[in-house]
């Protein structure tokens, strides 16, 4: 009886562990294995990784160093995506959460903002194509309205503008997520803290910086973690708009991995190169996620 009670929990876990092994652990291990061998099945060491860095669509920092417009390569593009998208998503999400906290009918506005997160990313990419279109897009219509009609263009059709256009468009798609998380975080802050600060003569700005921001630290870590993972794995909206083009101007790591694995014709197609990109992407993703989760636990 005692032995049965000890074994029973593991029997209940067995189906989940089996599925985890088949659909997660085995694919990860097999991807790592493929990244270390060549097309002939011979051990290649870091040769595949060296070929990835030698590929101009993955790493071509010359334009970046010289201050020229993209393409810079998928690795740098992902880094730029993080540097621009992350702070903007945090800022607008927190701003909307604070502004809508005590406004009547705010639920309707929150739902409208959150719509960008709910719709499939493929649909979001199609919407962005229309938003940036030269004749029918709302961005160019706004430029004409303010007297800057000479600047209008199809922003996703040029390698020097498509990357920033996609990043700013993805801010609209993702801001709803950070807004919802921050709204939940604000609801968890005791009202007594704000009342005590008001009695002590603290201004709204002082209350915001010394009470609201510190109390929202767990929410901030959640938003940063999820946003960072989304940015590193970004694929859908990039693929549906230009597939990493034009001329590699919007190439990111996930798209390049897909191209090597399923799109490039033989002999350019190479599952081993794709596996090396996937391995690097996994290391980056899990590395940042582990660090941020560790900070959240310690905090």
- Express each pLDDT in 50-74 by its tens digit: 999 988 899 888 888 888 888 899 9
What is the share, in percent, of the chain residues with pLDDT greater than 90? 29
Task: Quote the pLDDT of residue 182.
Answer: 92
Tokens 């694929």, located at residue: 235
| Domain coordinates in residue numbering, the chain | 72-269
| Predicted pLDDT of residue 149 | 86
Q: Helix or strand or coil: residue 67?
A: coil
Question: CATH assignment of 72-269?
Answer: 1.10.3720.10
pLDDT value of residue 266? 65
* Residue 203 φ then ψ, to 5°: -75, 170
pLDDT at 198: 82
For residues 113 and 92, what is the distance between their CA atoms, to the nearest angstrom?
11
Residue pair 186/207 in contact by the 8 Å Cβ criterion: no
pTM above 0.75, yes or no: yes
* Mean pLDDT of the region 88-116: 85
pLDDT of residue 167: 93
Q: What pLDDT shows up at residue 239? A: 92
Cα 101 to chain center, whole Å?
Answer: 26
Average pLDDT in the 129-140 region?
Answer: 89
For 204-229, write each residue's pLDDT tens digit.
888 888 888 888 888 888 898 889 88
Considering the chain, what is the average pLDDT of its residues? Answer: 86
Task: Quote the CA–CA distance of 257 and 260 in Å, as a whole number.
Answer: 5
Q: How far apart are CA 144 and CA 150, in angstroms?
A: 8
93-122: average pLDDT: 84
- How far apart, in Å, do the first and last CA atoms of the chain sit? 43
Tokens standing for 270? Answer: 């190479």
pLDDT at 204: 81
Cβ-based neighbour number of residue 53 at 10 Å: 13
160: Cβ–Cβ under 8 A, 6 or more apart, which residues? 69, 70, 249
């Amino acid at each position: 009886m005692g032995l049965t009670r000890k074994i029973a929990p593991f029997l209940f876990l067995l189906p989940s562990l089996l599925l985890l092994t088949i659909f997660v652990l085995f694919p990860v291990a097999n991807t790592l294995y493929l990244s270390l061998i060549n097309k002939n099945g011979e051990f290649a060491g870091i040769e595949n990784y060296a070929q990835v860095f030698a590929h101009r669509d993955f790493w071509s920092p010359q334009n970046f160093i010289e201050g020229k417009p993209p393409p810079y390569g998928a690795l740098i593009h992902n880094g730029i995506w993080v540097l621009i998208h992350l702070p903007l998503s945090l800022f607008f999400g927190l701003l909307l959460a604070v502004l809508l906290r005590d406004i009547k009918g705010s639920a309707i506005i929150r739902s409208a903002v959150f719509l960008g997160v709910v719709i499939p990313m493929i649909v979001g990419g199609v919407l962005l194509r229309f938003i940036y279109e030269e004749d029918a897009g709302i961005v160019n219509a706004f430029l004409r309205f303010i007297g800057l009609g000479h600047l209008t263009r199809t922003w996703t059709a040029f390698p020097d503008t498509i990357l920033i256009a996609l990043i700013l468009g993805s801010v609209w798609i993702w801001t709803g997520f950070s807004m919802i998380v921050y709204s939940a975080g604000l609801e968890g802050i005791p009202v007594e803290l704000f009342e005590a600060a008001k009695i002590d003569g603290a201004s709204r700005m002082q209350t915001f910086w010394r009470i609201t921001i510190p109390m929202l630290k767990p929410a901030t870590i959640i938003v940063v973690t999820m946003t960072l993972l989304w940015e590193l794995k970004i694929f859908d909206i990039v693929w549906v708009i230009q597939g990493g083009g034009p001329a590699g101007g919007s190439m990111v790591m996930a798209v390049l991995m897909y191209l090597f694995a399923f799109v490039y014709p033989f002999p350019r197609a190479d599952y081993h190169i794709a596996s090396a990109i996937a391995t690097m992407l996994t290391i980056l993703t899990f590395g940042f996620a582990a660090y941020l989760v560790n900070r959240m636990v310690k905090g």
